[in-house]
Amino acid sequence: MQRFILGKKNQITLISGILLVIAFISKFLFKNTEIFVGGLVIASIIGVIPIAIQAYQALRVKVVSIDVLVTIAVIGAFLLRNFEESAIVTFLFLFGAYLEQRTLNKTRSAIKELTEMAPESALKQMENGEFEEVEVDEVDVGDILLVKTGSKVPVDGTVLTGEGHINEASITGESVPVGKRKDAKVYAGTILENGTIQIVADRVGEDTTFGKIIELVEEAQDSKSEAERFIDRFSKYYTPAVLILSFIVWLISKNVELAITILVLGCPGALVIGVPVSNVAGIGNGARYGVLLKGSEVIQDFSRVDTIVFDKTGTLTVGNPKVADKKMYTNGDDIDKVLSYLASIEGESDHPLAKAIVEHLGKTETYTVENTNVVKGGGIVAIVDGHRVAVGNVSLMEQENVHIDEEMRADIARFESKGNSLVLTSVDGELKALMGIRDQIRPGVKEDLQKLKRLGVKNLVVLSGDNQGTVDLVASELGLTEAHGHMLPEEKSAYIEKLQAKGRIVAFVGDGVNDSPSIALAQIGIAMGGGTDVAIETSDVVLMNSDFSRLPHALGLVKVISRNMIQNIIIAVGVVFFLLASVFFSEWMNMSIGMLVHEGSILVVILNGMRLLRYKLKY
C-alpha cells in the first residue's frame, strides 16, 4: 500500500491542487464556506498521507528527515483547525518535490544520452560467411562484424576492410567525423556516418571503452564528495535541532502555531540538495566533453591543484616517435647483422622507441632471441645468434662495460642536442650502432598549458625517462617550470612525494604502465584515455581519446563546480536564517509563505547547479 501511494504522489499533488482551487473559488466567488473548509480538509488529509509515509520510513531507519518536520507541522496546523495553512503547506511541499525531481532529471540528461548510445545489436559473420544480426551480448572477441552507413559500431575493434568516417562524439566529445581505414581502431557507441567497414572485435561488453565510460560516470554519480558527507552529517543533527528549537519556543511562548511554523521554516531542503546537484551536473558536463571525473570526491582536490606533473612521451608528445639520426660503428656485412640483431630484439617490445626502430628498419632478417633480460629504465639484454646483444641507453652500456671512445661520446652529445632519445646497440661488449629518435610535440599543447596557468596552476613539471637534453628542449619549447630526465618510475614517484612534502597539491598526467605508481600517488591522477588500462584504472580523471585539450576544460570545470557548491550552500543557509529571523522579527511570516520560500530556494539551487551542464572554457 505504501509503495502504491508513493507511486501515485504526482496524481495526489494534482488532486490536492484542484481541491485548493475549488476551495478558494467557492469562498471568494460564491461565499460558500462549507465547500471552502471541506476542500481544504480533504486536500490536507490526502496531501499529508505520502509525506507521512516518507516520514515513517525515515524514522524506521532512525533518521529525522524533512518529511518528519512537515508531517508534524501539518498535523499540528490541522488540529488547530488552521486548514488553510495545512492544505497549502502539503500542496507546496508535494509540488516542490515534483519540480525538484523533474529538474534533477534534466541534470542527468548527459548520462542518459550516453546510455542510450549503447549499441544493442551487431551484424556478425557466421560460419557460412554470411552476416546475421545478433544481440551485441552474443559477440565474442575475435568475431568479424559488418558496420554499415548510419549504424553504431557495436564493439571496440580494428578495421579489416573498407573505409569510412566515424562520429566519435560519444568517446571524445567532438562531433567532427574521423576517417577510418584498414588497421584503424574503432570504438563501441560511435556512429559510421558514411562508408562500409568490416571489423574484428577486440573488446566486447563492459570491457569496451564506451562500456567503461558509462560504468565510470555511474560510479561517479553515486560517490559523495567531502562537502556532501559533511552536509549529510550536518543534516543528521540539524533536523532534530530544529525539532528541539520548536519545542523550546512552544514551552516559552505557549504559542503552538509559532512552534509549528518554525518546523516548516527550518527545513534544510536546499542545503541537502544543493551540493549533489552541482556534482551530478558537473560530472554530466564532463562526460559530454570527453572528461571522466571518477567521483565527487575528486572535484574538490582537483580544483585546488597548484602543480601539474607530466610524463613526456604520449602525454606532451604524440607518442609516435621516428628515427631521425643514425650512426654505425662497423662496416660491410656486419652492419646488416647488427641491424638484424637489433630488429629481432626490438620486435618483441611494445615500447614506442622500439616500434620506431622496427618501422625504420623495415623488412630484415630476424633471429631467435633467448635469455631476454629487461633492465628497468635501461633497455634489453639478450642472446641473439650466439652473441650477447644489449639495446638501450648510455647507462645500460656502462653496466655492460661497453667501451665508448671520445668520437662516440661526441656523437651522443650531438644527437642529444637535437632533442633525440638515444638507443645504443652493443654486440659482445662493443658499441655497434647509435640511433636518435625524436617525437613530435602534440599540436596545441603549448596553448593548453597557457590556459592551465591562467586557471591558477603555478608549476608545470615534466618527468621523463628520456635523456636530459631532450627533456630540456621540450620544456623550453613549451614554457614548463621544471624538467627532469633520466628518471625511473620509482624516481618519479619519489619526486611527487617531495613536492607533496612542500605542501603542493599535485596532479600527475600520464598514459603508460610505468606512470601508474605516480598516477596513484598524486592527489589527482590523470590518465590519457588512449593509454593503458592500468593507467586508466588507477587514475582519478580520464581524458578520453588522449585529447590533451580536455585538460584545461577539466580543470576549469571542477573550479566552477566548487564555486557552484559554495554558492548553493550560501543560498540554502541564507534562506533558512532569513525565514527564521522573519518569524521572530516580522508579523507577515506564516507557514504557507515559509513553505513557498523554502521550495523556491530548492528550485534556485537546482537551477544554479544546472548551469554547469552548459559550461564551456572561455579561454
Catalytic residues: 311
CA distance 619 to 616: 9
**Among the listed residues 547, 102, 76, 9, the one whose alpha carbon sits nearest the alpha carbon of residue 290:** 547
Helix or strand (DSSP H, E) at 334 = helix 333-346
**Sheet of strand 379-384, all strands in order from the earlier edge strand to the far edge:** 322-328, 430-438, 421-427, 387-392, 379-384, 369-375
> What's CA 417's distance to the chain center, in Å?
39
Phi, psi torsion values for 510, nearest 5 degrees: -155, 180
CA distance 336 to 324: 19
209 near 529, Cβ under 8 Å?
A: yes
201 near 151, Cβ under 8 Å?
A: no
438 near 417, Cβ under 8 Å?
A: no
Write the DSSP assignment of 526-583 as a string of letters.
EEETTS-HHHHHH-SEEEGGG-TTHHHHHHHHHHHHHHHHHHHHHHHHHHHHHHHHHH
- 350-365 burial by CB neighbour count: b if 16+ within 10 A, else e? ebbbbbbbbebbeeee
Phi, psi torsion values for 228, nearest 5 degrees: -65, -40
**Sheet of strand 541-543, all strands in order from the earlier edge strand to the far edge:** 291-293, 541-543, 524-528, 506-510, 307-311, 459-463, 482-484
